[in-house]
Amino acid sequence: EAQVTQNPRYLITVTGKKLTVTCSQNMNHEYMSWYRQDPGLGLRQIYYSMNVEVTDKGDVPEGYKVSRKEKRNFPLILESPSPNQTSLYFCASSPLRGGAETQYFGPGTRLLVL
Amino acid sequence: RKEVEQDPGPFNVPEGATVAFNCTYSNSASQSFFWYRQDCRKEPKLLMSVYSSGNEDGRFTAQLNRASQYISLLIRDSKLSDSATYLCVVGGSSYKLIFGSGTRLLVRP
């Protein structure tokens, strides 16, 4: 089954404790992206990747890191989480066909930073 | 001004009603347009792409007006299962998608 998976689905942590949210896709998509969703603000892009070892900042990259060592995986790293990073996070992937394509989303990760 | 703007609703309609959502976008160079559906705090899922000539998928009809930079979604014969948030999504010449904040639809019995 074609899918995007994220782990963990739910996470409660404390300020400053490093964490990683994993994202994996089995569709051989080149493009992967991380979003956060907050009430009234919609989905905002954090980072994206066009292919292995190619990553770039989205609209709200502060406080986040990513890596793309393999095509299928695109982990999101919070080196020192803060309460304003409490949010719902989605990973998404799409093929590259010359423009913005339909993106397929993972199930989401709910993060609470105390 | 937001790049993609939607009326947040909620739109509260009875079963069987016809309901229309509009969305405006600010970047005239935008090239791809979509409607996504999102159930309560779940992942967004593609409902339909929007083409210049307009397109229909069962009870759903999408229209694009490039001159006025707006996109519409019409839902006919609303079902209880249509209750969700509908996201207007716009893509430019890059691979980035810009999401509207969503319009919430509640279909009541």
Q: What is the overall mean pLDDT for chain B?
A: 92
Closest-CA residue to B32 (of B102, B100, B97): B97
Q: What mean pLDDT do residues A51-56 have?
A: 93
User: Does residue A93 carry a pLDDT above 70?
Assistant: yes
Q: CA B82 → CA B15, B19, B62, distances in Å?
A: 9, 11, 15
Distance between CA B101 and CA B109 in Å, rounded?
26
Distance between CA A80 and CA B63 in Å, rounded?
45
pLDDT at A99: 63
**Residues B8-26: tens digit of each pLDDT:** 889 999 999 999 999 999 9
Closest-CA residue to A30 (of A105, A97, A76): A97
User: pLDDT band at B92, cuts 50/70/90?
Assistant: confident
Q: What mean pLDDT do residues A3-31 have?
A: 96
Q: Dihedral sign, CA of A66, A69, A74, A77?
A: negative
User: pLDDT band at B91, cuts 50/70/90?
Assistant: confident
Long-range contacts from B1-7, C-beta under 8 angstroms, 24+ separation: B1/B26, B2/B26, B2/B100, B2/B101, B3/B27, B3/B90, B3/B98, B4/A42, B4/B88, B4/B89, B4/B90, B4/B98, B4/B99, B4/B100, B5/B100, B6/B86, B6/B87, B6/B88, B6/B100, B6/B101, B6/B102, B6/B103, B7/B103
Helix/strand number for chain B, H first, E second: 0, 11
User: Does residue B99 carry a pLDDT above 80?
Assistant: yes
Tokens coding B102: 């969503």
- Residue A40, chain B, CB below 8 Å: the answer is yes
pLDDT at A7: 97
pLDDT at B103: 95
- Residue B10, chain A, CB below 8 Å: the answer is no
Q: Are A65 and A20 in contact (CB under 8 A)?
A: no
Cis, peptide link before residue B10, omega less than 30° from 0:
yes
Mutate to test the interface with A, among B3, B4, B97 (most CBs of A within 10 A): B97
Contact state of A100 with B95 under an 8 Å Cβ cutoff: yes
Q: Which residues of A are less than 8 Å from B96 in CB distance?
A: 45, 48, 58, 100
Work out the minimum CA distance from B32 to partner chain A, whole angstroms: 7
Tokens coding A28: 């051989």
- Residue B87, chain A, CB below 8 Å: the answer is yes
* A42: nearest CB among B31, B93, B101: B101
User: Does residue A2 carry a pLDDT above 90?
Assistant: no
Q: What mean pLDDT do residues B85-92 have?
A: 91
